[in-house]
Structure 1
Amino acid sequence: MKSSIAAGSGSALVPERRFPEVQDTAVWETAPGNELFQQVSNRKAPPGLPILAITQEHGAIPRDMIDYNVSVTEKSLETYKEVRPGDFIISLRSFQGGIEFSEYHGICSPAYVILRKRGRLCGAFYRQYFKSHAFIQQLTRNLEGLRDGKMISYKQFSELQLLKPAFPEQQKIATCLESLDTLIAAQRRKLEALSAHKEGLMQQLFPQEGKTQPRLRFPEFEGAEKWEEKHLEGLAKRGSGHTPKKSMPEYYDGGIKWVSLADSKRLDQGLISKTAIEISDKGIKNSSAVLHKAGSVLISRDAGVGKSAIMASPMAVSQHFIVWTCDDRRLSNWFLYHLLQHSKPLFERMATGSTIKTIGLQFFINLRFRIPSRPEQQRIADCLTSLDDLIAAETQKSETLKIHKKGLMQQLFPRIGED
């Protein structure tokens, strides 16, 4: 069932999806923001309350619970406002991410607007509603013209028409969406645990800096030969890239995948199979760009320094990347990929520059690593790649849950002002 609503206060509407228990109950109503929420500005909070950071990820949360390094003077603290559990806070960027909720008793900057429920409202319902696509669009529409970063006032909020279903339906919707949040949070913790497990495993499977051997070897290699320090260029052919002239349209859109800084988000995920930009044969022939073989390993030398990937098909790269094509008899490309991932702290330390940090070519020319035998390389690569596959599968589950919740919210919250 499609929703329908007039613009004024008290207008009725019906969401696309309702729970069976409330299917035949009263239609939803709307009310101005100031009828549902009052503004509170108590600057005489009890002493010792935590200072709250207002974030889109965590809502209002004590600063010492997250990485938040903004100092506050004792004089400034005198102007801070009290926030009670259940209060809502208009974020400095509320029109980008909704209105934040506090589960904590604390204080926050006087720059924020604190909202407290009037009467019988389900706070958990409005916590979800203020993050819904329908409300964000409404908020953005009403705030059109405001510069990025400027906070809305209570007066502007008070003029917004807010959804107000019957209290039991508010509770029903809140319970449903909070159960999904619980699943999403559990999936996130699972991913964090897998990522931490992988990081810990890599610390043991590769020698630490200054060490000659790893702390952990697979049983079949415990008595095998030691890892030997080798010059990477003796095991793989090093290559680089170039950017064809952008003023020549015939050099582009020719079907040859070309890895550039625009592909930063596609790196660190094992294989890279797509690129934001493609070039042409003419682009290759009329520049210093080179077509590298499928299976080659690339690494970013600046702007995301240390990010790496393996080419799923023949590709060219921009000058911001170094490419290694491994001698498969001596070096596994997947072992090299995981080794580069493990060596990110080294690359980050070696990067220099004030604006964009970069690593000079000579560093890569001289690069040496401790390398085990080819069979042990393969065993390590297979183990870590399997773990990456598991992390990728669990990441997909997490994204599916988020998409499901987003779609459900679009059905549960009608859009105000639509026919």
Structure 2
Amino acid sequence: MSSKIKTNSTIENSKPALVPKLRFPEFREAAGWRYIPLNHLALRAKQKNRDKKIDRVLTNSAEFGVVDQRDFFDKDIATQGKLEGYFVVELGSYVYNPRISSTAPVGPISKNKIGTGVMSPLYTVFKFKDERNDFYEYFFKTTGWHTYMRHASSTGARHDRMAISSDDFLAMPLPASSSDEQQKIADCLNSLDELIATQCRKVNTLKSHKKGLMHQLFPREGEIQSSLRFPDFRESWVEIKLDSLSISISSGRDKLDPEGDIDLYGSTSVIGKTRTPSFSGERILIARVGANAGLLTKAKGTFGVTDNTIVVSLKPSINIDFVFYYLESTNINRLIFGSGQPLITGSILKNLPIMVPSDLEQRKISACLSSLDDLIANQSLKLEAMKAHKLGLMQQLFPLLAEIDA
């Protein structure tokens, strides 16, 4: 074991019993929690796919957990003829991926909940002896084990991977209480996950509804009016170029300035501050280059814009909300060119045809979609609040592992 960390027996003997900040009433008088090494609670899975009977390759994503590689990457990354050296990962097993990222600074540990498959030998696979182990699935979503990993790693993070031996990894101290208390915590968090999933579906349903509504409220390509109109509006729509509605369509030119106090927009959102903003009022912003090319943002007030973004400045008489929703509904991606570095230009946007109804109908359409946007925003805030509540609850339900001396 690495000399940089104490043995688990030393940790258990030298630290007082753990007590989480928040405990269910029936366990408040129970004994304190304790540390138990992972290798006392689980067995490492080392079975190789020698007979090559399993061809389902799994991967452990920091964001999505254990997923089918083909679904995650939209193609097979592993060479099918070389799977005999891969580990068999049974349903219910846990997988540690040493690859680090901003969302998994010491690599993610995830539970396989999708079925038996195989994984690269770069991963560490283990299975708890007790089938009631959902508690540890949630614990590994906290940062309570990160300090140990950083100390146990022989060289910290080697480029994009943690350098930690299997023995040191399996010696990781885990908090343990009675099986009933651990299951109570898991059940509580699982119930909260179900509420979050329901709220997420609600938000996604609203977004899908908006998308479908826009397809009906705006004419399809090649058509002269929409398929769904409000009562009393029967006049034909008129085709007009975006350039004729605009004062200018050009790239931004502002720069980041740490000492600035004005918002600076990049391709999709505010990325920092600037001291010399070029714009005031309301503008439509369109990502100009890269993977985000074609994405829309609306900026208001006084602000700056980087050169990765096209700024559409409309004439004062033009309904900016209508134009924004129209652009959102149309397939701007067809205007993007280049595969290595996708690009959309102001000169191309200037010639984009837009079908325009009367001013009153424009306002009616904008008000309808704006109300739907407000509803989506409110429900999205509720979703984020639920996620924040879960995070705060987890920080209180799990005892904090004491710092491990170097």
Q: TM-score normalised to the size of structure 2?
A: 0.85
**Structure 1 equivalent of residue 337 of structure 2:** 352
- Judged with a 3 Å threshold, the aligned counterparts in structure 2 of structure 1 residues 386 and 245 are, in CA distance, closer, same or farther, namely closer
What secondary structure sits across from 1:240 in the alignment?
strand
What secondary structure sits across from 2:144 in the alignment?
helix
Select the residue among 57, 67, 83 that pairs with 1:77. Answer: 83
2:154 is the alignment partner of 1:150? no
- Judged with a 3 Å threshold, the aligned counterparts in structure 2 of structure 1 residues 231 and 75 are, in CA distance, closer, same or farther, namely closer
Deviation at 1:76, TM superposition (A): 1.8
Write out per-residue CA displacement over residues 334-379 of structure 1, whole angstroms, 9 at most, x where no aligned residue. 0111112123x32x33223455322233212323211111111111
- Judged with a 3 Å threshold, the aligned counterparts in structure 2 of structure 1 residues 278 and 337 are, in CA distance, closer, same or farther, namely same
**Structure 2 equivalent of residue 368 of structure 1:** 353
Name the aligned partner's letter for residue 339 of structure 1: Y
- Judged with a 3 Å threshold, the aligned counterparts in structure 2 of structure 1 residues 321 and 150 are, in CA distance, closer, same or farther, namely closer
Size of the aligned set, in residue pairs, is 386
**Cα contact 2:236–2:357 (8 A) shared by 1:** yes
In 2, Cα distance between equivalents of 1:58 and 1:315 = 35
Select the residue among 260, 269, 286 that pairs with 1:265. Answer: 269
In 1, Cα distance between equivalents of 2:396 and 2:28 = 14
**Structure 1 equivalent of residue 297 of structure 2:** 309
Select the residue among 321, 331, 334 that pairs with 1:334. Answer: 321
In 1, Cα distance between equivalents of 2:193 and 2:250 = 45
- Judged with a 3 Å threshold, the aligned counterparts in structure 2 of structure 1 residues 93 and 184 are, in CA distance, closer, same or farther, namely farther
Q: Which of structure 1's runs of 4+ aligned residues deviate more than 6 A?
A: none
**Structure 1 equivalent of residue 206 of structure 2:** 194
In 2, Cα distance between equivalents of 1:241 and 1:279 = 18
**Structure 2 equivalent of residue 388 of structure 1:** 373
2:304 is the alignment partner of 1:299? no
Deviation at 1:154, TM superposition (A): 2.3
Q: TM-score normalised to the size of structure 1?
A: 0.83
In 2, Cα distance between equivalents of 1:324 and 1:104 = 46
Name the aligned partner's letter for residue 61 of structure 2: T
In 2, Cα distance between equivalents of 1:104 and 1:231 = 50
Q: How does 1:218-237 map to 2 (within 5 A)?
A: 218-221=230-233, 224-237=234-247
Name the aligned partner's letter for residue 203 of structure 1: H
**Structure 1 equivalent of residue 272 of structure 2:** 276
**Structure 1 equivalent of residue 3 of structure 2:** none
**Cα contact 1:79–1:109 (8 A) shared by 2:** no
Write out per-residue CA displacement over residues 165-197 of structure 1, whole angstroms, 9 at most, x where no aligned residue. 111111111111111111111111111111111
In 1, Cα distance between equivalents of 2:80 and 2:288 = 44
**Structure 2 equivalent of residue 18 of structure 1:** 23
- Judged with a 3 Å threshold, the aligned counterparts in structure 2 of structure 1 residues 180 and 351 are, in CA distance, closer, same or farther, namely same
2:327 is the alignment partner of 1:324? no
In 2, Cα distance between equivalents of 1:64 and 1:321 = 34
**Cα contact 1:306–1:340 (8 A) shared by 2:** no
% same residue: 32
Write out per-residue CA displacement over residues 293-335 of structure 1, whole angstroms, 9 at most, x where no aligned residue. 4123222222422222333213343333333333354x31001
In 2, Cα distance between equivalents of 1:57 and 1:319 = 31
**Structure 1 equivalent of residue 41 of structure 2:** 36
2:19 is the alignment partner of 1:8? no
Write out per-residue CA displacement over residues 8-63 of structure 1, whole angstroms, 9 at most, x where no aligned residue. 13652111111110000011111112111111122258946743332233322344
- Judged with a 3 Å threshold, the aligned counterparts in structure 2 of structure 1 residues 258 and 374 are, in CA distance, closer, same or farther, namely same
Name the aligned partner's letter for residue 382 of structure 2: K
- Judged with a 3 Å threshold, the aligned counterparts in structure 2 of structure 1 residues 237 and 7 are, in CA distance, closer, same or farther, namely farther
**Structure 1 equivalent of residue 4 of structure 2:** none
- Judged with a 3 Å threshold, the aligned counterparts in structure 2 of structure 1 residues 72 and 16 are, in CA distance, closer, same or farther, namely same
- Judged with a 3 Å threshold, the aligned counterparts in structure 2 of structure 1 residues 208 and 408 are, in CA distance, closer, same or farther, namely same
Name the aligned partner's letter for residue 40 of structure 2: E
**Structure 2 equivalent of residue 212 of structure 1:** 224
2:143 is the alignment partner of 1:133? yes
**Cα contact 2:252–2:305 (8 A) shared by 1:** yes
- Of 353-362 and 394-403, deviating more is 353-362
Write out per-residue CA displacement over residues 86-130 of structure 1, whole angstroms, 9 at most, x where no aligned residue. 211112436535311012331222322210113x36310010011
**Cα contact 1:51–1:106 (8 A) shared by 2:** no
In 1, Cα distance between equivalents of 2:369 and 2:398 = 43
**Cα contact 2:69–2:77 (8 A) shared by 1:** no
What secondary structure sits across from 1:339 in the alignment?
helix
Gaps of 5+ in 2: 1-7
Gaps of 5+ in 1: 267-274, 285-289
- Judged with a 3 Å threshold, the aligned counterparts in structure 2 of structure 1 residues 258 and 265 are, in CA distance, closer, same or farther, namely closer
